[in-house]
Amino acid sequence: MNPHPSWSSSAEVSPEKASGRSRDELAEIRELLLGPEKQALEHLRERLEDPAQRAREVSGVLPQAVALACRRDQQLASALVPAVESALGVSVRRDPSPVVNAVFPIIGPAIRRAIAEAFSQLVQSLNEALDSSFSLRGLRWRFEAARTGKSFGEVVLLHTLVYRVEQLFLIHRASGLVLAHVQAPGIQAMAPDAVSGMLTAIQDFARDSFHAGQSEFLHNLQIGELAVWIESSPLASLAAVIRGQAPPEFRAVLQEALERVHREHSGDLEAFRGDAAPFEVCRAELEACLRQKLLERRRSPFKAVALVVLVVAAAAVWAGVKIRDQRRWASYVQRLRAEPGIVVTATGSRGGRHYVAGLRDPIAAVPADLRAALGVDPARVEEDWQPFQALTPSLVLRRARSALQPPPGVQLRLEGDVLFVEGLAPADWIRTAAARVQRLTGVRDVDLSRLADAEAATLVLRQQDIEGQQLRFDDATRLASGQEPILTALAEDILALHQAALVRGKPLTISVVGHTDQTGTDEQNLRISLQRAEWVTQNLVARGVPLHILQPVGMGAQQPLRSDLPPEQWLLNRRVTFRVHGPASDSPPP
Amino acid sequence: MTPIQKKVCLVGAVSVGKTSLVNRYVHSLFSEKYLVTIGVKIDAKTLRVGDVGLRLLLWDLAGDDDFQRLNASYLRGSAGYVLVADGSRGHTLDAALDIQSRVASAVGPIPFVLALNKSDLRDQWDVDGRALAELAARGWLIRHTSAKLGTGVQEVFEDLARLLLAPASTPPGPP
């Protein structure tokens, strides 16, 4: 389309030239007509293509845009959360101090509040803990608490305090109005503004009364154990109510706090007309001055040492008792294991008590006796014994002994499973012995062959004793010297033998045999020998022997002591001998 | 929100009933013996004026007479004051006028209210109505009060509170 057809039709030129010229002209015209728009378009394109330029422009409208978006809804805030979070993370990683500096004013009061709360809880728990303590001092403090109406924890705190800053007043010096007031936890402060006014009035009163200059001020008020320390600057005062003895350095703390307040709020102080809101931030500064110091309880080292010694001693005693107990128990168990007739199957300890279990032959040793012998405490022992019969030789023997009840003089001996019963025993016991060892566990057979009748043996012995004796004579019927006691002993032996024979129902006869030497005739000798036998019989009867058991016999010289005796010893043949017929021997009397 | 604090003094001749007025208005914190010892007793009272919470610190200053002069130190920093006179004793109003001029010279032109106390003793009234009219014409705010009956007491402090909160208007000038 050609908007200007008249220009091409009026020109007398070649087509090429004409067309080239018309292009130049066209461009010129276009330039003339559309130049400003083109420039504006160019400028716009440059702006859009240049990021730096675009950033500069966006930065100009960004705050406004953000404000608008925030006013509209939460979308922008939600969209920014991840970016802000990661930005904070990056910042802290790179250098934590900017974030720390930024949050410091918030963290300080938060921590102080947390501490104050914790302290209040501590006082509370102190109350509860000490409620149950009944030491003399505790009772005294409890009495004091009841008397003064304070809580027990408070009384304890007061007694253990070196000092405690209870309240702080930041006071507008000219009006006496309170700018800020803080108090320690648990402190009941009465109308701080009125108190602040009175403190100011007192300052004025003191100054006026003693004609002090305006810059002078009352530094210190002391009321019993309470003190009010006052620091003043031209526009404000800082008064600290202190219980106890604060160190002098604390005054410097107050001065510095007041100086900081003054520095940071001098404008607010000058413009103060009763609105304390600008001084709200000073509370943190004041709270930092709410200090306290508790009494360091000096524990006597002696007590501590004594306590340690006591504990160690107690532990040592306990360990000693424990070890001794353990040793006794071990040797008891060892002893049980060694004991015949006892089989330990389980041992150990549970619930602080020892226990042992197993099998026990009723004839075996009694565990309680073993325990007692070793000093094991029966209260700390549990035992469980099942009965059984042991085949240990010593136990079998013990069981046999228990069944037989052998009299002294009888020995029991086990060879394999044969029980040998040996020795002398009363005839009655011997008769029943065989029956008693029937069905004895561990004994297959009993050998009683070496068991003898004790009384019969005694009789034999006595008989042998009597028959072994002889009485020698000097003359026909005169005993040789020293033969008298033999006669007496003989009489006693014969009497005893007589008694034994009576008990056993056996007949007893004793031949009293007289002898002579070879001198003289046989007839003489026979007569003399009989005389001797009769003389002895009479003398035995005289000593209590019954006459009917004695049988005097004369043998003359027929039975010399020895046939080869030389004549000078023939005298020895003048004698009386005895022969017993009866209980032990079956030889009939002659 | 923390109320705005204002220091308010009660001034007037001896026995005009300043302390009685305060006692009527607040539950007193301190003993009255402070008045004879250090010459001031301070109480506090919170009240609302419109949307604003106000905490009045009431400095009850010892009566002014030949023996005990008004302590100018106690006036420092005051935002306003209550001038108290005894309606049954005319000379206390003269004293009040004298005190007012002294206060104004000490702390400047700050708001105040004149409380004509003992209004329960109307039969013994000893105040010239014309003098009062003249004061009112000067812009003084005058309240008849009876600490004994409680009438007008609260109003005195509320009036003063309103004056304290009013945008810095010209306070009534001295006579």
Model pLDDT for residues A60-105, shown as the tens digit of each residue = 898 888 888 888 877 888 888 889 988 988 988 888 888 877 777 7
Q: What is the mean pLDDT of chain A?
A: 83
The whole-number average pLDDT for the span A554-570 is 84
Q: How far apart are CA A164 and CA A371, in angstroms?
A: 67
Please answer yes or no on whether A193 and B78 come within 8 Å at the CB atom. no
Span A6-51, pLDDT tens digits: 444 444 456 666 677 788 888 888 888 888 888 889 888 888 888 8
Vertex A426, ends A422 and A429: CA angle to 5°?
A: 80
Give the list of residues 6+ apart from residue A524 with CB closer than 8 angstroms, or none. Answer: A516
Query: CB within 8 A of A352, min separation 6: which ones?
Result: A380
- DSSP characters over A402-461: HHH-PPTTEEEEEETTEEEEEEEE-HHHHHHHHHHTTT-TT-SEEE-TTEEEHHHHHHHH
Which amino acid is located at A115 in the chain?
I
Read off the pLDDT of each residue in A243-252 and give the average, rounded to a whole number.
88
Look at residue B33 and tell me whether its pLDDT is greater than 80. no
Q: What are phi and psi of A419, to 5 degrees?
A: -100, 120
Which one of A169, A275, A279, A280 makes the best mutation probe of the B interface by having the most chain B beta carbons within 10 Å? A275
Which among B1, B7, B22, B37 is the top mutation candidate for probing chain A, defined by the most A β-carbons within 10 Å of its own β-carbon? B7
**Residues A408-426 pLDDT 10s:** 888 888 888 888 888 888 8
Residue numbers in A near B75 (CB within 8 A):
none
The least confident of A318-327, B30-39, B41-50 is: B30-39
A123 pLDDT band, cuts 50/70/90, is low
The yes-or-no verdict on residue A120 having pLDDT over 70 is no
> Region B116-126: what's the mean pLDDT?
87
d(CA A240, CA A219): 10
Q: Is the pLDDT of residue A576 over 50?
A: yes
Work out the number of other CB atoms within 10 angstroms of the CB of residue B146.
Answer: 21
Q: Measure the CA–CA gap between A356 and A339, rounded to whole angstroms.
A: 14
**pLDDT at A124 exceeding the cut of 70:** no
Which of chain A's residues have a Cβ under 8 Å away from the Cβ of B39? 205
Distances in Å between the Cα of A375 and the Cα atoms of A82, A323, A378 are: 79, 13, 9
SS3 A135: coil
Q: Give the mean model confidence (pLDDT) for residues A522-529.
A: 90
What per-residue confidence (pLDDT) applies to B10? 93
pLDDT per position as a tens digit, A357-377: 999 998 888 898 988 888 888
Lowest mean pLDDT segment, chosen from A305-319, A326-340, A454-468, B10-24: A454-468
B4 touches A: beta carbon within 8 Å? yes
Q: What is the mean pLDDT of residues B24-29?
A: 78
For residue A173, the chain B residues in CB contact (below 8 A) are 77
pLDDT at A511 over 90: yes
A14-18, A110-114, A469-473, B37-41: range with highest mean pLDDT: A469-473
A182 — pLDDT class (breaks 50, 70, 90): very high
DSSP labels, B55-101: EEEEEEEPPBSSSS---GGGGTT-SEEEEEEETT-THHHHHHHHHHH
CA distance B48 to chain A (A): 14
Tokens matching residue A558: 């027929």
| Number of residues assigned to chain A | 590
| pLDDT level of residue A125 (50, 70, 90 thresholds) | low
Percentage of residues of chain A with pLDDT beyond 70:
91
Mean pLDDT, range B2-22, rounded to an integer: 89
Q: Which H or E element spans position A153? A: helix A152-160
Which of A173, A193, A204 is facing B55, going by the closest CB pair? A193
Per-residue confidence (pLDDT) for residue A127, from 0 to 100 = 62
Q: In the prediction, which pLDDT does A115 show?
A: 77
Between chains, do A176 and B34 touch, taking CB under 8 Å as contact? no
Least confident range from A115-124, A154-163, A381-390, A429-438: namely A115-124
Smallest Cβ distance to B5: which of A177, A190, A204? Answer: A177
Confidence (pLDDT) at A168: 95
> Average model confidence (pLDDT) for chain B?
85
Mutate to test the interface with B, among A178, A181, A182, A200 (most CBs of B within 10 A): A200
Instruction: For residues A502 and A508, give the distance between their C-alpha atoms in angstroms, rounded to a whole number.
Output: 8
Please state the rounded mean pLDDT for residues A500-524: 86
- Residue B7 near chain A (CB below 8 Å): yes
pLDDT in tens, B56-91: 999 988 877 755 677 788 898 999 999 999 999 989
Averaged pLDDT, A542-547: 91
Which residue of A193, A273, A275 to mutate against B (max B Cβ within 10 Å)?
A193
Q: What is the mean pLDDT of residues A114-135?
A: 65
Asked if B2 and A277 come within 8 Å (Cβ–Cβ), the reply is yes
- DSSP code, position B13: B
Handedness of CA B42, B48, B49, B52 (dihedral sign): positive
- Rounded Cα–Cα distance for residues A518 and A259 (Å): 161
Chain-chain contact of A176 with B7 (C-beta, under 8 angstroms): yes
Highest mean pLDDT among A50-54, A377-381, A474-478, B109-113: B109-113
Residues of A in contact with B36 (CB under 8 A): none
- A131 vs A576: CA distance, rounded Å: 114
Q: Which residues on A lie below 8 Å from B59 (Cβ)?
A: 176, 197, 201
Q: Which residues pair with A56 in a beta bridge?
A: none
**A264-300: per-residue pLDDT in tens?**
888 899 889 888 888 988 888 899 899 888 776 555 5
Cβ of residue B23 closer than 8 Å to a chain A Cβ: no
The least confident of A442-446, A465-469, B109-113 is A442-446
ipTM of predicted complex: 0.82
To the nearest 10 degrees (0 to 180), the angle between helices A152-160 and A97-131 is 110
For residues A361 and A396, is the Cβ–Cβ distance under 8 A? no
Which B residues in the span 45-84 are in contact with A, Cβ-Cβ below 8 Å?
A: 55, 57, 59, 71, 73-74, 76-79
Tokens representing residue A385 in the block: 């014994």
Residues of A in contact with B55 (CB under 8 A): 193, 274
The closest of B168, B114, B169 to B145, measured between CA atoms, is: B114
> Each residue of A528-558: b (16+ CB within 10 Å) or e?
bbbbbbbbbbebbeeeebeeebbbbbbbbbe
Percent of chain A predicted with pLDDT > 90: 19
Residue A9 is predicted with a pLDDT of: 43
Place B175 in a pLDDT band, splitting at 50, 70 and 90: very low
pTM, two decimals, is 0.45
What is the spatial distance between Cα A537 and Cα A551, in angstroms, rounded to a whole number?
8
Whole-number pLDDT of residue A589: 46
Alpha carbon distance A201, A171 (integer Å): 12
- What one-character DSSP code corresponds to residue A300? -
Using 50, 70 and 90 to split pLDDT, how confident is the model at A588? very low
Q: What secondary structure letter does DSSP report for B174? A: P
Q: Are B55 and A204 in contact (CB < 8 Å)?
A: no
